[in-house]
């Protein structure tokens, strides 16, 4: 499959493709809700407990459902209508957010209830994420997958820019307001997902077997370039991404309050949006493997600057740079998986990728909170950034196939065993 579009197929023409437009709307609203949650949940938990460890617990209780449900979630995305899986998950998250809004409005919300709601969010996300990722190749125009991936990611980042900022603002006005907004946007996301009309669908022709449940793991294991790409991001995010500690920086280091916290959470998305728009207009032309290693190392350096900074402008700039290079990493990884993975395995392979990458964000948040409670917040962030640089330098020896990987438009589907 090539990724060359006609001259008229620019960003606006992509958005005129109805299935892709509805997909982008659904994903954006869902991402909007998640980013509001990062501010509302993080600030509420820290306000109720005053503990960085509890901030890490937020990530842990999100990770556990993803780890436990990886095979079932991927299998569901390949066996059932992916649109309906996404819709059901988004409606479940809306119900949990509505409960948090009600309890917060009555002034009786407790930290334990927040953690229980996050478990529900984690279960829903475990099913939603692989189904959403598997939907993208089916809604993208023929030959436009890399640009569609960049556009989808960029649109999600646009939502995350306004999400944290508005989340911090409305939380300062009324603690229940962010949860009410989350409820509304997850409902809208579910309605958009339900309206998607697929031009290319995949329906299983044989009854499910036990081996099919683990087909995603087998496929990733047997493709060294994919395994190297996913595992690189796993360890980099697990050890180096310390954005979960932003409430500590906002409250005790930079002294900028909940509105400032929203700005910190939005800064990486601003950088990511810039990169997404760049990639949507001009897909990556360099060797993908070497580029991935370079952006991981750059992310680590940016996190070191953020950890050491006591200036809000410098902190925002460092986080924006981190977001910019992270979007390039996301585009390489997502496009590689979508192009190399057979359509009938998309759900199961994306479920594996979600646990490696998406859930590692939550487990990484737990790691950041635990390390910060031992060596301090600044030390934890700086050490994590240094670890990312070390991983980028080490990975070519462990996965030589990654450094040999060429341009994305040269990739072809692999054969499923």
Phi, psi of 412 (to 5 degrees): -130, 155
Q: What is the pLDDT of residue 1?
A: 38
Give the pLDDT confidence score for residue 186 in this predicted structure: 95
Contact (CB, 8 A) for 156 and 17: no
Would the pTM of this model clear 0.85, i.e. be above it?
Answer: no
**Distances, alpha carbon 112 to alpha carbons 76, 106, 229, in Å:** 30, 16, 36
| Residue with the larger pLDDT of the pair 297 and 51 | 297
Q: How confident is the model at residue 410 (pLDDT cuts 50, 70, 90)?
A: low
Q: How far apart are the first and last CA of the chain?
A: 20
Show the CA angle centred on residue 371, arms to residues 366 and 377, nearest 5°: 105
Contacts of 244 (CB under 8 A, 6+ apart): 42, 55, 56, 58, 59, 364, 365, 368, 369
The mean predicted confidence, pLDDT, of the chain is 79
CB 90 within 8 A of CB 32: no
Q: Report residue 235 as tokens.
A: 């360890």
Beta-carbon contacts of 239 under 8 Å, excluding residues fewer than 6 positions away, are 364, 367, 384, 387, 388, 391
The residue assigned the tokens 């059932």 is 80
Res 220: pLDDT: 77
Three-state secondary-structure class, residue 57: helix
380 vs 71, more confident: 380
Q: Judge whether residue 413 has pLDDT over 60.
A: no
Report the pLDDT value the prediction gives residue 92, as an integer from 0 to 100: 94
Query: What's the pLDDT tens digit per position in 20-41?
Result: 889 989 988 998 888 888 778 8
pLDDT band at 182 (very low <50, low <70, confident <90, very high): very high
Residue 359 has pLDDT above 80, yes or no: no
Residue 260 neighbours by CB under 8 Å, 6+ apart? 168, 250, 254, 312
CATH number assigned to the domain covering 11-198+210-410: 1.20.1250.20
Average pLDDT over residues 51-55: 73
**pLDDT at residue 221, as a whole number:** 77
CA angle 346, 350, 416 (to 5 degrees): 45
Q: Phi and psi (nearest 5°) for 143?
A: 80, 0
- How far is 211 from 131, CA to CA, in rounded Å? 20
Predicted confidence at residue 202, as pLDDT, reads: 54
Contacts of 358 (CB under 8 A, 6+ apart): 66, 125, 129
């Amino acid at each position: 499959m090539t990724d060359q579009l006609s001259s008229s197929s620019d960003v606006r023409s992509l958005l005129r493709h109805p299935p892709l437009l509805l997909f982008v709307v659904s994903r954006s609203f869902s991402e909007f809700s998640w980013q509001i949650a990062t501010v509302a949940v993080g600030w509420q938990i820290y306000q109720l407990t005053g503990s960085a460890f509890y901030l890490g617990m937020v990530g842990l209780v999100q990770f556990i459902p993803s780890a436990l449900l990886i095979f079932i979630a991927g299998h569901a995305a390949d066996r059932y209508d992916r649109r309906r899986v996404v819709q059901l998950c988004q409606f479940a998250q809306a119900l949990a957010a509505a409960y948090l809004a009600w309890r917060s409005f009555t002034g009786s919300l407790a930290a334990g209830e927040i953690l229980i709601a996050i478990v529900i969010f984690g279960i829903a996300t475990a099913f939603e994420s692989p189904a959403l990722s598997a939907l993208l190749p089916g809604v993208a125009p023929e030959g436009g997958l890399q640009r569609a991936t960049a556009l989808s990611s960029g649109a999600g980042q646009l939502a995350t820019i306004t999400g944290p900022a508005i989340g911090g603002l409305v939380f300062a006005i009324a603690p229940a307001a962010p949860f009410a907004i989350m409820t509304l946007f997850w409902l809208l996301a579910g309605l958009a997902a339900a309206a998607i009309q697929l031009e290319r669908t995949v329906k299983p022709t044989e009854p499910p077997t036990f081996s099919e449940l683990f087909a995603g793991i087998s496929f990733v294991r047997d493709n060294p370039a994919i395994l190297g790409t996913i595992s690189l991001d796993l360890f980099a995010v697990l050890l180096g991404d310390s954005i979960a500690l932003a409430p500590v920086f906002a409250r005790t280091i930079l002294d900028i309050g909940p509105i400032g916290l929203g700005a910190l959470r939005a800064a990486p998305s601003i950088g990511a949006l810039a990169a997404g728009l760049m990639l949507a207009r001009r897909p990556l032309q360099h060797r993908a493997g070497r580029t991935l290693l370079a952006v991981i190392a750059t992310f680590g350096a940016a996190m070191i600057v953020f950890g050491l900074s006591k200036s809000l402008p410098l902190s925002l700039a460092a986080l924006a740079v981190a977001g910019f290079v992270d979007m390039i990493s996301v585009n390489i990884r997502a496009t590689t998986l979508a192009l190399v993975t057979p359509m009938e395995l998309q759900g199961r392979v994306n479920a594996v990728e979600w646990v490696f990458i998406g859930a590692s964000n939550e487990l990484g948040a737990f790691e950041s909170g635990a390390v910060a409670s031992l060596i301090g917040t600044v030390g934890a962030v700086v050490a994590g950034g240094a670890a990312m640089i070390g991983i980028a330098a080490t990975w070519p020896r462990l996965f030589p196939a990654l450094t040999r990987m060429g341009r994305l438009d040269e990739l072809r589907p692999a054969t499923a065993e």
